[in-house]
Amino acid sequence: EVQLVESGGGLVQPGGSLRLSCAASGFTFSRHWMSWVRQAPGKGLEWVANIKKDGSEEYYVDSVKGRFSISRDNAKNSLSLLLNGVRAEDTAVYYCARVYYDSTAYYFFFDSWGQGTLVTVSS
């Protein structure tokens, strides 16, 4: 069974930093692109970042470029998101999500999600 378990959320002051982690199990982690998707309280879903299966490519939504950094450790089946220079509008539940792969190609929708970790930016 595919499992994605996020951790690391909490209260952080504006301008501060936080590292989120996602522990993956139940599948071959190194074969999949992975993503972070967030959801502000009471709002909809927003894709944040993608990372290629070998970590060689990263993509970000414009609003977090230069502030957030996605990374992975395939030996530890782990995905991370480093949040720097956080703002009030970064307050959200952050989900780790697996990009769909059908053994021939990748399609950037998400077939497995974690339960999320809440980041609150406030002084």
Site of interaction with other proteins (CB under 8 A):
4, 44-47, 59, 61-62, 95, 97, 100, 107-116
- Between 23 and 61, whose beta carbon lies closer to other proteins? 61
Residues 6+ positions from 33 with CB-CB distance below 8 Å: 50, 51, 52, 53, 99, 101, 106, 108
**Residue 89 C-beta: closest distance to other proteins, Å:** 16
**Residue 13 C-beta: closest distance to other proteins, Å:** 26
- Between 15 and 26, whose beta carbon lies closer to other proteins? 26
Task: Provide the 10 A C-beta neighbour count for residue 81.
Answer: 26
As beta bridge partners, residue 94 has 38, 117
- Between 45 and 82, whose beta carbon lies closer to other proteins? 45
- Between 2 and 88, whose beta carbon lies closer to other proteins? 2
Residues 6+ positions from 103 with CB-CB distance below 8 Å: none
**Residue 16 C-beta: closest distance to other proteins, Å:** 25
**Residue 46 C-beta: closest distance to other proteins, Å:** 7
Q: Nearest 5°: phi and psi at 106?
A: -105, 140
